[in-house]
Structure 1
């Protein structure tokens, strides 16, 4: 896949502003050649391109389903950045990330979602729990909600911990058809009383064509890094097949979420 032919924009990083040290992979705020600020995720970080692939798939599928997601862009990082950064840890990260990375528009002034302060209605809560169960996103907990309030609206961020099966690809077709066990820790689970309605609504608009249009966005160079597949296309097809399978048996993870909620309350 050529990023230049993608529906995602490609920007060039012009200034490394500051690291976001609360993230385990040291994302950073950076400025690009369009004069906007972005949260930059690095291909050279601990989980490598897999975290960027999960971020891309999760974020763009969420956007298609109607959630508020900051704009996602491809971000080119020049190797010169690694020579000018005084912090050795960051310097190594920048050097390992020269080339194509991923970035999200920085929502200036946004505040972290607090479930005690902000009440989420059952429909939205159910849809978010459905999304995270579908994506196998382990990182939407009370400890780390990965949601922001910006201009009084709820925005979803950081889907890099989704699709955790792809760190090994063991029994991935079987995993596609399992409940999402970690849903028990989801920060919005107790409010998700409309899971069946969310399932019906999303299955009316999400299908294999939309899934494959999102998966097609993944750059070949990310797929070829540490790949268990013979080609980028085979790797890309496996992602699509996982999501198609999971969607076809969505009642399994919906029921799993409902059972987990009953245990919670």
Structure 2
């Protein structure tokens, strides 16, 4: 991942609790930024990083992810007090995704994705326990007639409470029944096979190693390396037992259609 410095706050995107915004980087490009100072803190950044990298690994369309640094002086001239407080709380390393200018929100009533793409996205979200890709909030964009997945900050909800994380890694994912693409996901078994060709332990470990130290909890009883080990084990357990969430997704789709 590249690292950019944020040079200009362009406009807020007042959606959800993460208070994202469009900002300009020192490379001249626009990015949708997620801030460490927002309500969900750095856990949302970790989920965005892991989710986005796995989406890319699975061959899905996902905007480029970058580390985005905010300087202490940045935002002092911001007239909106709420935004200024957010920027002050977000000094340091944040995360950004390339802004897809001209994109529109995906609407399942207008466009039906092909079964292969739909199945791979449903599989990924069941794997990552993503509760936030529903009809109410699709978290997908249409850009140049292609479907792009965005906003993975709601993935891996186990890390908001580390209790029983190992048991959580082996649980089905009941929320998959509400997935916006589930009706179109006719090839879930094929999606599982595809994932097995693209993912192994080494690539999952490499993705987790991308988590910066200062996104991990300094208040945890676990060291930074031990926290990364939890993420690695959670993902690997879930991947090697994918039949648990795969079968639930298949059953949920049968009940839906």
Contact 2:60 2:117 in 1 (8 A): no
After TM superposition, give the deviation of residue 42 of structure 1 in Å: 0.1
**Is 2:224 the partner of 1:263?**
no
Give matches, 1:56-135, under 5 Å: 56-135=49-128
Contact 2:3 2:66 in 1 (8 A): yes
Contact 1:49 1:225 in 2 (8 A): no
Q: 1:150 to 1:225 in 2, by over 3 A?
A: farther
Using the TM superposition, name which of 18-27 and 122-131 deviates more.
18-27
Deviations 1:217-236 (A, max 9, x none): 0000111344x342111001
Using the TM superposition, name which of 98-107 and 84-93 deviates more.
84-93
Deviations 1:198-218 (A, max 9, x none): 111111220100101100100
Q: Tell me the equivalent position of 2:241.
A: 249
Runs of 5+ unmatched residues, structure 1: 1-7
For the residues of structure 2 that align with 1:110 and 1:229, how far apart are their CA atoms?
Answer: 43
Contact 1:229 1:235 in 2 (8 A): no
From 16, 20, 27, the equivalent of 1:27 is 20
- Between Structure 1 and Structure 2, how many residues are aligned? 257
From 211, 214, 226, the equivalent of 1:234 is 226
Give every structure 1 segment of 4 or more consecutive aligned residues whose post-TM-superposition deviation is greater than 4 Å: none
For the residues of structure 1 that align with 2:97 and 2:109, how far apart are their CA atoms?
Answer: 27
Secondary structure of the structure 2 residue equivalent to 1:12:
strand
After TM superposition, give the deviation of residue 80 of structure 1 in Å: 1.4
Q: Tell me the equivalent position of 1:218.
A: 211
Calculate the aligned-residue CA RMSD, in Å: 1.0
Secondary structure of the structure 2 residue equivalent to 1:177:
coil
Contact 1:215 1:240 in 2 (8 A): yes
Deviations 1:147-169 (A, max 9, x none): 00111111000000000110001
Secondary structure of the structure 2 residue equivalent to 1:118:
coil
Runs of 5+ unmatched residues, structure 2: none
Contact 2:9 2:75 in 1 (8 A): no
Q: TM-score, normalised by structure 2?
A: 0.98
For the residues of structure 2 that align with 1:172 and 1:91, how far apart are their CA atoms?
Answer: 36
Contact 2:17 2:40 in 1 (8 A): no
For the residues of structure 2 that align with 1:186 and 1:231, how far apart are their CA atoms?
Answer: 35
Contact 1:17 1:29 in 2 (8 A): yes
Contact 1:28 1:39 in 2 (8 A): yes
Secondary structure of the structure 2 residue equivalent to 1:115:
coil
Q: Tell me the equivalent position of 2:34.
A: 41
Secondary structure of the structure 2 residue equivalent to 1:84:
coil
Q: TM-score, normalised by structure 1?
A: 0.95
For the residues of structure 1 that align with 2:184 and 2:127, how far apart are their CA atoms?
Answer: 18
After TM superposition, give the deviation of residue 170 of structure 1 in Å: 1.2
For the residues of structure 2 that align with 1:22 and 1:179, how far apart are their CA atoms?
Answer: 29
